Amino acid sequence: MKVDLISKNADDTMHLGAFMGEHLGPGDIIGMTGDLGSGKTCLTRGIARGMGVSDTYGITSPTFTLINEYPGRIPLYHLDVYRLSGSEDLEDLGYEEYFFGRGVTVIEWAEKIDDVIPSDAIFIDITFLDETRRAISVSSTGQSGIHLVTKIGEEVFNEWH
């Protein structure tokens, strides 16, 4: 299942993230791809807010720490694997605890570790269209992900178009 959206600005991207965050549950994994500055962290910020992570937490890309954890209605694990050369670099981090734990895992630069991301994860690709607009593709083959993608198509897509 797949839905394609056009975000007109950062507020749209945050809104999509918040919508997703409201519907994500324990064990959901989101793999994000997109160029540097395309909006992956902005979308993650929206997800965090939708999951109930307080505004007092600044949601930033964990490029140097690799993983940030945020408390919400369930934990949010935010990984940025930009600096990794591949999934073998994840072994020391105990990534399975995050992937198969009680929270939601968001992975920026997911293409670098796609061999360890479960095939039923939710995949998001963000593409620059111009200074403010982004093409956002959300897809999944897993039951939970298909349900979310369907809701995005029914509610967010219709609202934006």
6-22 pLDDT, tens per residue? 999 999 999 999 999 99
Tokens of 24: 């994500």
Give the span between the Cα atoms of 129 and 65, in whole angstroms.
Answer: 30
Handedness of CA 105, 110, 113, 115 (dihedral sign): positive
Q: What is the pTM for the complete model shown?
A: 0.93
Residue 137, CA atoms < 13 Å, CB-side half-sphere: 11
Place domain 2-160 in its CATH homologous superfamily: P-loop containing nucleotide triphosphate hydrolases (3.40.50.300)
Give the span between the Cα atoms of 101 and 87, in whole angstroms.
Answer: 18
Q: How confident is the model at residue 38 (pLDDT cuts 50, 70, 90)?
A: very high
pLDDT of residue 41: 95
pLDDT in tens, 130-155: 999 999 999 999 988 999 999 999 98
pLDDT in tens, 68-120: 999 999 999 999 999 888 888 887 777 888 888 899 999 999 999 999 999 99
Q: Residue 118's Cα: distance from chain center in Å?
A: 14
| 40-52 mean pLDDT | 97
Per-residue 3-state assignment (H helix, E strand, C coil) for the chain: CEEEEEECCHHHHHHHHHHHHHHCCCCCEEEEEECCCCCHHHHHHHHHHHCCCCCCCCCCCCCCCCEEEECCCCCEEEEECCCCCCHHHHHHHCHHHHHCCCCEEEEECHHHHCCCCCCCCEEEEEEECCCCCEEEEEEECCHHHHHHHHHHHHHHHHHHC
